[in-house]
């Protein structure tokens, strides 16, 4: 889904500058209708769904053509901004990135066009507006554990009560630390600042039984192949696996919700149109439409997606499905590097 503050080699950054277009001057050919802007996301079906939910209706409304680019590589963003040759207008990154880079690589958002109260507390930042939300859902193999299914998040970390293989991502920013602390009894209101060492101690309980997948495709393969008993996976990937026949069902206890945001790169060539696009794409209707198409959660609290039955079964925000706990972008924005360093060292130890 995303890499928060991913680091690339300097040679990659240098190589990307040659392909960077645009003047970086902030002039806006699309501010009053017409013109174009460039939107950067993760490509494939994911970005196709964003085109359907956001870009096509925005173009129809504003008369602005939206061009797609991918992926949203941090090194390329930095290279373009530092070279003052920015070709991107809007990009999707992790919420923590919008805090880490605010004013340096990305512009403050024009919140005169956006109501911050539409979003969960702590997710809308000075330089980023929530656009994609996804729950880190606990799922279990109903073929193996159907007679005695796990009932709480703590059960995932109990290898004695539930022996067997587990799978999750190695993207620590998607909720791995928060999930471990919640499972260990930390109240959601007391999560931050995160006690990373305590969380890694919780993960120690099942480290030997857990595959920390390098890709989401690997997670999907393990679920569909019934090679694991439980998974702590983002809901869209769980949905894809279930559609392919994986016999996994969710456990509703406490579910961590991660958020990606839309940012406007500093020096975007069509800044005003970009701000209009961000405001449009994050409205309730557009948030609901993308959630329906992608199987993610809506980022806007007022959105009311009409899910398919399979997607509805994996939606952590449906009333009565335990507690949804939102990741706090402000904390991650100032602590991501140290947390990732600790997690990587732990994973390799």
How does pLDDT run along the chain (349 residues), one tens digit per residue?
334 433 222 222 223 323 333 333 344 433 345 699 999 999 999 999 999 999 999 999 999 999 999 999 999 999 999 999 999 999 999 999 999 999 999 999 999 999 999 999 989 999 999 999 999 999 999 999 999 999 999 999 999 999 999 999 999 999 999 999 999 999 999 999 999 999 999 999 999 999 999 998 999 999 999 999 999 999 999 999 999 999 999 999 999 999 999 999 999 999 999 999 999 999 999 999 999 999 999 999 999 999 999 999 999 999 999 999 999 999 999 999 999 999 999 999 8
Report helix angle 176-183 to 329-348, nearest 10.
90
Q: 18, exposed or middle or buried, with CB in 10 Å at 0-12, 13-18, 19+?
A: exposed
* Nearest alpha-carbon partner for 183 in 206, 164, 208, 157: 157
Rounded Cα distance, 143 and 310, in Å: 18
> Could you tell me which residues come within 8 angstroms of residue 343 by beta carbon, excluding any fewer than 6 positions away?
170, 172, 176, 177, 196, 200
Query: Is residue 150 located within the same domain as residue 193?
Result: yes
* Nearest alpha-carbon partner for 104 in 272, 334, 337, 266: 266
Q: Establish if 340 belongs to a structural domain.
A: yes
Query: Is residue 199 located within the same domain as residue 107?
Result: no
Q: Establish if 45 belongs to a structural domain.
A: yes
Query: Is residue 220 located within the same domain as residue 106?
Result: no
Neighbouring-strand partners of residue 90: 39
Q: Establish if 85 belongs to a structural domain.
A: yes
Q: Establish if 5 belongs to a structural domain.
A: no
Query: Is residue 266 located within the same domain as residue 325?
Result: no
Q: Establish if 294 belongs to a structural domain.
A: yes
Query: Is residue 21 located within the same domain as residue 86?
Result: yes
Query: Is residue 323 located within the same domain as residue 199?
Result: yes
Domain count of the fold of the chain: 2
Query: Is residue 41 located within the same domain as residue 110?
Result: yes
Residue 28 pLDDT: 42
Q: Domain range holding 268?
A: 10-132+260-312
CATH of the domain at 299: 3.40.190.10
> With the CA atoms of 214, 156, 255 and 228 taken in that order, what torsion angle do they form, in degrees rounded to the nearest 10?
40
Query: Is residue 216 located within the same domain as residue 156?
Result: yes
Phi then psi dihedrals of residue 137, to 5 deg: -95, 135
């Amino acid at each position: 889904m995303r890499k928060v503050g991913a680091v690339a080699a300097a040679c990659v950054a240098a190589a990307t500058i040659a392909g960077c277009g645009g003047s970086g001057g902030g002039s806006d050919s699309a501010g009053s209708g017409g013109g174009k802007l460039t939107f950067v996301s993760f490509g494939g079906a994911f970005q196709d769904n964003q085109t359907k939910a956001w870009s096509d209706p925005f173009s129809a409304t504003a008369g602005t053509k939206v061009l797609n680019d991918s992926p949203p590589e941090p090194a390329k963003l930095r290279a373009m901004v530092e070279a003052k040759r920015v070709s991107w207008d809007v990009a999707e990154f992790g919420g923590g990135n919008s805090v880490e880079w605010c004013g340096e690589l990305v512009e403050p958002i024009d919140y005169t066009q956006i109501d911050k109260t539409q979003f969960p507390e702590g997710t809308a930042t000075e330089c980023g507006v929530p656009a994609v939300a996804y729950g880190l859902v606990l799922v279990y193999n109903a073929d193996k554990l159907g007679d005695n299914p796990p009932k709480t998040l703590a059960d995932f970390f109990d290898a004695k009560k539930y022996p067997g293989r587990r799978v999750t991502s190695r993207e620590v920013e998607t909720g791995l630390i928060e999930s471990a602390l919640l499972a260990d009894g930390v109240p959601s209101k007391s999560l931050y600042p995160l006690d990373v060492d305590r969380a890694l101690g919780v993960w120690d309980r099942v480290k030997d039984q857990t595959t920390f997948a390098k890709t989401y495709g690997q997670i999907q393969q393990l679920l569909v192949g019934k090679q694991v008993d439980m998974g702590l996976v983002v809901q869209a990937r769980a949905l894809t696996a279930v559609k392919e026949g994986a016999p996994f069902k969710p456990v509703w206890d406490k579910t961590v919700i991660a958020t990606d945001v839309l940012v406007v790169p500093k020096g975007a060539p069509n800044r005003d149109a970009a701000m209009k696009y961000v405001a449009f794409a994050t409205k309730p209707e557009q948030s609901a439409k993308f959630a329906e198409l992608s199987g993610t959660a809506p980022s806007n609290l007022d959105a009311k997606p009409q899910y398919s039955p399979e997607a509805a079964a994996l939606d952590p925000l449906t009333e009565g499905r335990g507690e949804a706990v939102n990741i706090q972008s402000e904390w991650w924005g100032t602590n991501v590097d140290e947390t990732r360093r600790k997690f990587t060292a732990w994973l390799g130890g």
